[in-house]
Amino acid sequence: MTYNSFVFWPYFSGAVFVTGALLRYAMTSPRSETFKADLFEAWSIFRGSRLWRLSLVIVLAAHVVAFLAPRAVVRWNSVAARLYLLEGFLFFAGCIALLGGALVVWNYLGRSNLTLVSSIFDTVFLAFLMVSLASGLLLAVFYRWGSSWGAVILDPYLSSLLRGEPVVDLVAQMPFLAQLHVLSSFAAVAVLPLTRAAILLVAPAHLCVTFASRLGSRAFGAAEAWIRQHNPGAWVWPEED
């Protein structure tokens, strides 16, 4: 992997994801019959088993915790028993995620009602997702205690990306599997808005916006009623009969 890949690719992936997600949100009407049909189709394709979805949540949550609280992870791993417990649990969750993902891919390839454009992006997304999962498991096998060294190396890199000042010296020297894991994860994020799975993100976004707008209108109405009731102008300039 080239040095510039770790500078350019994350920003490119983030820009594609944000732009694609906003366009999908703007072009989607939650009240249309097409929306319901697309939502049902996406769920039938990508839902997998409950165990697969749970394993993905666990793996993703572990990465988020390692990014937000790397020192806590290192302190936890300072005790050998806790290190073995964490690594073993995450490796088991990763195996379930990989096997469950393989079943999702198998079932997807067996579908006969796939359109050309959507199937291309769906296939590319699933491919990047499987590469990310597989490379993560291989890292755990060949380069043990990744929860510790990953928190030390990857957290400063991701933090530097958010600051707009990428520091890639350490991450560019990581083993090939680690670099593949990082770049394939960014690639999966970039492709996601172009897939049918994107509607699974758009639907909750519409619900949140609708709920927030209703809550805001109620709050505004309550505030307006309170102001009318406690308006000091009525005391200063009382209405004449």
Q: pLDDT per residue over 102-128, tens digit each?
A: 999 998 887 766 666 678 889 999 999
| Stretch 184-190: mean pLDDT | 93
pLDDT of residue 241: 46
pLDDT of residue 89: 94
Whether pTM > 0.85 for this model: the answer is no
pLDDT for residue 165: 84
Mean pLDDT score of the chain: 84
Distance CA 191, CA 233 (A): 58
Lowest mean pLDDT among 89-98, 130-139, 170-179, 198-207: 198-207
Exposure string for 113-137, b = 16+ CB within 10 A, e = fewer: eeeeebbebbbbbbebbbbbbbbbb
Q: What is the pLDDT of residue 110?
A: 79
Are 160 and 167 contacting, i.e. CB atoms less than 8 angstroms apart?
Answer: yes
The CA-based angle 12-13-18, given to 5 degrees, is: 100
Mean pLDDT of 2-9: 78
Smallest CA-to-CA distance from 10 within 208, 237, 188, 210 is with 188
CA separation for the pair 92, 95 (Å, rounded): 5
Q: Where are the domains of the chain?
A: 5-200
pLDDT tier at 154, thresholds 50, 70, 90: confident
Residues in CB range of 117: below 8 A, 6 or more apart: none
Q: Tens digit of pLDDT for each residue in 15-38?
A: 999 998 888 888 877 777 787 888
Q: Looking at residues 55-78, what average pLDDT do you find? A: 90
The architecture of the domain spanning 5-200 is Up-down Bundle (1.20)
Q: In the Cβ-directed half-sphere of 133, how many Cα atoms lie within 13 Å?
A: 24
